Amino acid sequence: MTISLPALPYARDALAPHISSETLDYHYGKHHQAYVDNLNGLIDGTPHADADLETIVHASAKAGEAGIFNNAAQIWNHTFYWHSMAPNGGGAPAAGSAIAKAIDDSFGSYDAFKEAFATAGKTQFGSGWAWLVSNNGKLEVRKTANAETPLTDGVTPLITMDVWEHAYYLDYQNKRPGYIDVFLDSLVNWSFAEENLAKA
């Protein structure tokens, strides 16, 4: 099957002023599209050609096929990232929700989670991702470099934040901490996290 660029879950200007439509034009329209185009070229005529994206991510990771994995994982990571944000998102999850309870149980408080997640994003050297995952019923903050994804680690990703420079540079220049604060305060999609938690 041909891997296609998944549709955004909102209009390209829906996250403004926090993330501009110009950023999405480049990040989604060019970077994400390039991973799709590259992957389709790499898998053409291979056993991966008829597989779905998650199968390709797992199989290429296991086989050590770096080029295929990097592009497939970046397609998956980016799609997950778009859904990890929402217009009018951000702040603490609704009191009494399953995700709020899980955060309190695992981190002690929302503020402790927020600090851990922000620190993961700020301290990821170079390009990568910060994640909230569920690992055997306990929530954890993780960070991954480049295209690496917790999808291959047997845990359930709940949300992710892209800290590659192209995710924020047009809007925040080199101020990654400012972008991270805005992600947590104004963008994070707790409804998506709760949907993923229910699958864990």
CATH domain 98-199 topology: minor pseudopilin epsh fold (3.55.40)
Whether the full predicted model's pTM is greater than 0.95, yes or no, is yes
At 73 the pLDDT is: 98
- Percent with pLDDT over 70 in the chain: 100
Q: Which residues of 32-65 are buried (b: 16+ CB within 10 A; e: fewer)?
A: beebbebbeebbeeeebeebebeebbbbbbeeeb
Contact by Cβ (8 Å): 43, 68: yes
What does the pLDDT read at residue 26?
A: 97
- The whole-number pLDDT of residue 106 equals 98
| CATH topology classification for 21-83 | Helix Hairpins (1.10.287)
Per-residue confidence (pLDDT) for residue 93, from 0 to 100: 98
Residue boundaries of the structural domains of the chain? 21-83, 98-199
